[in-house]
Structure 1
């Protein structure tokens, strides 16, 4: 196992730190980096640098940034520590999405887009984690019946009726009409509403308080719904969505996230929402989405939300096939 893998496994079961402990860890990390920078680079051992990496893992969430370990540019390939903002994570994810989208062939209208997805649900109050393995076959243009699974339940969707508008659409052919320019997509996601640069501030206000209506929150939520499967986006659309979200000033980096397949990553979220997008720490591949959910139950004549849980959805495989039941 390499050093980075050991860092990830070591911190996997560590409970979140308090704000005071996190602040102290961050100060120790910054002091260690400053002291290390005064030394001759050739004299710094791999073990010392590794200790810095451990400290960075502990202080992974700080004021909208994350500390990650990446290979050094020097010939020694010694790991170095970087501070990554939420916007940087999203831009890196956009670059990764563009480079990887070429591997998916452009489907014909008479074909199906296949997806394989893993889902886990963990109760907030503790208990057994539920796991589902879903497969779906979506008609590219909606002219044929589709078969999709959600939490193990099979749904057969009839061909899409003409003049029926679903937003965001599931059909690949409809998604091709969406803009791949981040600024234009930002307008689409905001439904043309004027955006704000963050909530207004007043003396004595809580810095995390939100206004009654925050258009940026609406944009973030719409983007998450776009990412939510089993839809598959044409080349450039997912990258544009990441870059559009990078323009929102309040997006933030979450603490270490673990997807439905056990992969550790960086989460990016927006205050006040229940969604968190999760990316690989090294490659910035999009791993999936984490969200808070609940079940509705009729109590004393009123529907109430009970049994709250965290749900993680991870996309494992995407492909283009000719018929329902066929796998790439």
Structure 2
């Protein structure tokens, strides 16, 4: 009988620990985005989440124990599972998709060490970015109607390492996104499908009404948090005017500089949308003026394509984000993410560990979500 009581008590304590773990992780998650995040943002927030959990756990361990053990929260490293489908609500999608990709695996595949970054932090990168801007201006503009969808197909490798261990890159998997262009406030803004490499997710991309929005507003309108082609075309193409707008509307996360936040935001806008040529050129000219932006002589995307890179160290997150462009056409190819020199907070990671990589393979305009693009309608990556 006493053994049974002890077993019941252990089960109750285990359930309480599990609930405490879930609550602790929920508190550590960054504020939910207002639409499903593109792969670049996923990779960035996963690294930030892991860093913050390590930091908070160390702080908790270092503090003297003043409360009775039964009342003190227990911040243990949780175990995660991979869901079968993408969770629909944005808050759940952020926690479910980001945490699910941290499932345990086998031997670590840390990827190649970070390549040498150009030493000329002003001249080299600024010259390259102005060349990229000129190439963007030379591309054909094909407007996207408000009743259509932008389709983007890409290849992604994400970190599947545990919190306790080093980065472990998963196998490449296919990602397809259909994004609605309707400027009206929406709660369902598109469709996401991911498959291959042990990843199988499919479902609508939904959004929650932003904090402070009037009751009954019904969703998120076209804007910086839900960029449509029409909204992008409405942006100023003068670099100084665009810089002012982006710095005013971009919200840095805790510990992030505004320069790094704007760099990441522009990376999202050019990475998984179709951008009008003049707007894309203005974006790259804004980046040319961000302090610390550097040229990378050789960069490789998730499809194995070599190109040149533009990178910026995010000192607040101890990470580095890199955009990759074709060496000849200067078209956008993809992105890479690294644990930076100050980011040795994860056990087993060496400086410059590759923590995620993407490759944009196709962009197109289609009439409905889930529709395969006609080959003639395909758009090259801008």
Identify the TM-score tier after normalising by the shorter chain.
Answer: 0.5 to 0.7
Could you tell me how far apart the structure 1 residues matched to 2:114 and 2:180 are? 43
Match for residue 115 of structure 1? 152
Q: Which moved more, 1:174-183 or 1:314-323?
A: 174-183
1:96 counterpart SS class: helix
Match for residue 263 of structure 1? 305
In structure 1, which of residues 311, 320, 324 is the aligned counterpart of residue 356 of structure 2?
311
Check whether the contact 1:123–1:310 (CA below 8 A) recurs between aligned residues: no
Match for residue 85 of structure 2? none
* Higher strand fraction (1 or 2): 1
In structure 2, which of residues 88, 113, 119 is the aligned counterpart of residue 63 of structure 1?
119
Check whether the contact 1:65–1:253 (CA below 8 A) recurs between aligned residues: yes
The one-character-per-residue Cα deviations of 1:167-204 (angstroms, maximum 9, x if unpaired) are: 332333333332222111111221179xxxxxxxxxxx
Q: 1:162 Cα deviation (Å)?
A: 5.0
In structure 2, runs of 5+ residues without a counterpart are 1-110, 210-216, 340-344, 375-382
Structure 1 runs (4+) greater than 6 angstroms displaced: 13-17, 304-308
Could you tell me how far apart the structure 1 residues matched to 2:114 and 2:355 are? 16
Match for residue 232 of structure 2? 175
1:191 counterpart SS class: helix
Match for residue 135 of structure 1? 176
1:130 counterpart SS class: coil
Match for residue 164 of structure 1? 220
Q: 1:142 Cα deviation (Å)?
A: 5.2
> Residues 109, 277 of structure 1: CA spacing in aligned structure 2 closer, same or farther, 3 A cutoff?
same
> Residues 173, 14 of structure 1: CA spacing in aligned structure 2 closer, same or farther, 3 A cutoff?
closer
Q: Are 1:320 and 2:339 matched, yes or no?
A: no
Check whether the contact 1:251–1:268 (CA below 8 A) recurs between aligned residues: yes
Check whether the contact 2:239–2:285 (CA below 8 A) recurs between aligned residues: yes
Check whether the contact 2:129–2:287 (CA below 8 A) recurs between aligned residues: yes
Q: 1:152 Cα deviation (Å)?
A: 4.7
1:155-234 alignment, distance < 5 Å: 155-157=203-205, 164=220, 167-191=224-248, 214-229=257-272, 231-234=273-276
Aligned length: 226
Q: 1:245 Cα deviation (Å)?
A: 0.5
Could you tell me how far apart the structure 2 residues matched to 1:90 and 1:152 are? 36
1:269 counterpart SS class: strand
The one-character-per-residue Cα deviations of 1:76-100 (angstroms, maximum 9, x if unpaired) are: xxxxxxxx71111111111112222
Check whether the contact 1:94–1:239 (CA below 8 A) recurs between aligned residues: yes
Check whether the contact 1:185–1:240 (CA below 8 A) recurs between aligned residues: yes
Could you tell me how far apart the structure 1 residues matched to 2:201 and 2:288 are? 35
Could you tell me how far apart the structure 1 residues matched to 2:136 and 2:367 are? 25
Q: 1:240 Cα deviation (Å)?
A: 1.1
For normalisation by structure 2, the TM-score amounts to 0.50
Q: 1:127 Cα deviation (Å)?
A: 5.2
1:51-130 alignment, distance < 5 Å: 61-64=117-120, 85-102=124-141, 105-121=142-158, 125=166, 129-130=170-171
Could you tell me how far apart the structure 2 residues matched to 1:14 and 1:163 are? 42
> Residues 155, 177 of structure 1: CA spacing in aligned structure 2 closer, same or farther, 3 A cutoff?
farther
The one-character-per-residue Cα deviations of 1:268-297 (angstroms, maximum 9, x if unpaired) are: 11233531111122222211121248xxxx
Check whether the contact 2:143–2:229 (CA below 8 A) recurs between aligned residues: no
> Residues 152, 264 of structure 1: CA spacing in aligned structure 2 closer, same or farther, 3 A cutoff?
farther
Q: 1:314 Cα deviation (Å)?
A: 1.6
Could you tell me how far apart the structure 1 residues matched to 2:149 and 2:256 are? 39
Alignment root-mean-square deviation, CA:
3.6
